Homo-oligomer: A and B are copies of this chain.
Amino acid sequence: MPRVTDPTAPHIALVGATGVVGTTLLRLIEERGFRYRGLDLVASARSAGREVTVEGHSCRVQDVDGFDFAGVDIAFFSAGAGVSRTFVPKAVAQGALVIDNTSAFRMDPGTPLVVPQVNAHVLGTRPESGVVANPNCSTIPLVRLLRPVQERWGIRQVVVSTYQAASGAGYSGVEELRAGARSVLDDPDSAGVTGTFSPSLAFDVIPSIDRLLDDGFTFEEQKMLQESRKILELPHLDVTTTCVRVPVANSHSEAAWIECHEPVDRGELVRLLAGQDEVTVHDLDTVGAFPTPRTAGDPNRVHVGRVRVAAHNPRGFWLWIVADNVRIGAALNALQIAEELTRRGAL
């Protein structure tokens, strides 16, 4: 049982406990046996008061407005950037170390942006800001694969198109996709259901995620560039992206074209990637094999397939990447940050 009486185990709070990331974090804490001394479930007013079962006991969700963070060692925030901007400063002031799943503090110079498999070394001491930021869901699997490639061949350019699932917009996104799909199946001329997505995501693909910036890129696309640079400590890394929502319930996919400074050998590349922590290369032995969001398997691993070097440009190669955006891209990465902080005694 993860709940222990050990006084050195942290007291944790989950802000956004009823959302898709919060509930997955709870499940992962149980699955991985993350040891904690005490647990508070917290959410915005809309969800406060609900009862959630944790380790067989009913636990009441508390309202973040008015919640007292005193005595909390680690506060996980996954209730949106607005909630984080308002309540993270209070949590830090009251002594909690915050692991923030939102975009609110990622680019703040005093806040480390961490993918434990890539840059755990920045977690040696408690961060200046009191916050460790969890990167964007599409950035995490990408940088886990870029790091060894950069070390081996050096990267000239990364061109990525994403195939992002509805769950990136929370439970309501998945429900809207399902309702819209039913509507279009019943009447092919139906406009589907909109709200979270516009137009409807039912049997459609939408090349627009998060808000549009002045330069014509979306914030989602900018995140993949800026966050990759920060995590990999490569301020001039050239990553350019088109982020697209697809009618898939869960798990993001990415088609990534990576051009290096030197010719790449496919055999060496697949062995290098397969040797990374928690990475499965599907076409290591079976050329052309590939993962898909619904068939990839273990949701706690990054799945790679269709690894191929271009005949006419052997410096460049393609990867097809599938990763559970709620686990790999959010909750699992956040919990692995907490595990790393605990192991290093950096709380």
Which residue numbers of A lie inside 8 Å of B, CB to CB?
157, 159, 161, 163, 177-178, 181-182, 185, 188, 192, 199-200, 203-208, 212, 215-218, 225, 238, 240, 242, 244, 246-249, 253, 255, 257, 266, 283, 287-288, 290, 292-295, 305-313, 316, 318, 320
Contacts and interface: CB of A to CB of B under 8 A. Distances in A.
A214 to B, nearest CB: 8
A318 B318 CA distance: 18
B216 A307 contact: yes
Number of copies: 2
Contact of A308 (B199, B217, B246, B320): B217
B216 A247 contact: no
Contact of A163 (B157, B244, B293, B308): B244
Given A181-B185, A207-B305, 9 more contacts: A157-B313, A192-B294, A199-B294, A203-B247, A204-B294, A207-B255, A207-B292, A215-B308, A247-B248
A293 B242 contact: no
Nearest to A166: B203
Contacts of A208: 288, 290, 306
A242 B163 contact: no
Nearest to A266: B216
B249 A311 contact: no
A204 B318 contact: no
B182 A320 contact: no
Nearest to A215: B311
Contact of A216 (B199, B287, B293): B287
Contacts of A318: 240, 242
Contact of A204 (B288, B295, B310): B295
Q: Which of A208, A309, A313 has the most CB of B within 10 A?
A: A208
A203 B255 contact: no
Contacts of A159: 159, 257
18 contacts: A159-B257, A163-B205, A163-B246, A188-B249, A199-B292, A203-B293, A203-B294, A204-B248, A204-B294, A205-B246, A205-B292, A207-B320, A216-B283, A216-B306, A216-B307, A216-B309, A240-B310, A244-B255
A273 to B, nearest CB: 14
Contact of A203 (B217, B248, B290): B248
A311 B240 CA distance: 10
Nearest to A319: B242
Most chain B CB within 10 A, of A182, A266, A308, is at A308
B288 A216 contact: yes
A205 B164 CA distance: 10
A169 to B, nearest CB: 15
A249 to B, nearest CB: 6
Contacts of A199: 292, 294-295
